[in-house]
Amino acid sequence: MKAQTVDVRNSTGRVLCCTIFRPSGKKLLAKGHVLSEEDVRLLESEGMQQVWVTELEEGEVGEDQAVMAVATEMGCGAVEIRLAAGGRANLFATEDCCVLVDDELLKQINCTSSIVIATLSNLAYAKAGQRIATVKSAPFAVAEAQLEAVLMILRERGPILQARPIRNPSIAVLYTDPLSGERARQLFENIMRQRLDRFGVTANYVLATVEDEASVARALQHLLRPKPTVVLVASTTAPAGPEDAVGRAIVQIGSHLERFLAPVEPGNLLLLAYKDDVPIVSAPGCFRSAKPNVVDLILPPMLARYRVSGWEVACLGHGGLLA
């Protein structure tokens, strides 16, 4: 692609290399715009005689066509694609969702082409209408061979981004304290409400119990009967992991212990388990404060009914220093 200055009358079908403004400062035509005969008449009416343009050469694809092709292949789920000015396509969430990102595939694409992609963080929460990714090309054109190589990778390895919708999740909350579960409820209930409000959800099932193994086990079994989307355990005591009363109770009811300890601060002492497909999250210190912590990182995918693995918790260390 070669840029050159040409007579306005000979510019039909060519691509503008710079944005054109009226003397008042109002934009007339944007950079990257393909000039039509009507555009040429408009430029002439503004007194312009020459214009800086380029045109596609053989083996090149226009920037808008290139980014739309990549955007179409890179995302799935609750996603809407909108073309923006200047060789950019944006992906927006069509409903509240959790954004899942294949980080390795994203790096591969961003290292090998004339097109770059930026996304929200993996496991991030997004509200309906929020931009969750953007695709940008090199100015004006992309080599067709490069574009095809990118599209082939995406078709073979799957999408980079999945917007997994959050639809009517049910939340179970258990408050525990060595003396009285009601004491824990009074301490944490307002903060729990604030945290869930961030994600547009409320607690559907709530129990409070004394913090001993038998009582916690009974309460968990009761909360699990209606098959909630997630169970959150808020305790007043500092956790000792699988060996404390809450941890032993979680194991006692037949849960699978997925992960103890998270590389996230605040939230190092996370305990994540699964009873069948229902996640149980114990992170006592995290429920004492409304400030961002590990619960805010792992709750969105759980609300979207995505099973967070111990490996994915381990990967939270990069960017895990929240405070």
Residue 55 to residue 14: CA distance in whole angstroms: 5
Pairing of strands 79-84, 20-21: unpaired
- Burial letters 239-259, b for 16+ CB under 10 A, else e: beeeebbbbbbbbebebebbb
pLDDT at 239: 65
Strand 75-77 and strand 161-165: pairing?
A: parallel
Q: What pLDDT, on a 0 to 100 scale, did the predictor assign at position 2?
A: 77
Q: Which portions of the chain are predicted below pLDDT 50?
A: none
**DSSP state at residue 265:** B
Write phi, then psi, for 78 (nearest 5 degrees).
-80, 70
Strand positions, DSSP E, 211-293: 230-235, 256-260, 271-275, 278-282
pLDDT given for residue 135 in this prediction = 98
DSSP, collapsed to helix, strand or coil, labels residue 164 as strand
* Residue 294, CA atoms < 13 Å, CB-side half-sphere: 29
Position 271 scores a pLDDT of 96
Paired tokens of 309: 């693995």
Q: How far apart are CA 219 and CA 209, in angstroms?
A: 7
What is the predicted pLDDT for the residue at 257?
Answer: 96
Write down the pLDDT at residue 241: 77
pLDDT confidence of residue 288 = 87
Q: What is the structure's pLDDT at 240?
A: 66
pLDDT at res. 139: 87
Which pTM was predicted?
Answer: 0.90
Rounded to the nearest 10 degrees, how much is the dihedral formed by the CA atoms of 85, 90, 93, 98? -150
How far is the C-alpha of 192 from the C-alpha of 67, rounded, in Å?
A: 42
**Is the Cβ–Cβ distance between 259 and 272 less than 8 Å?**
yes
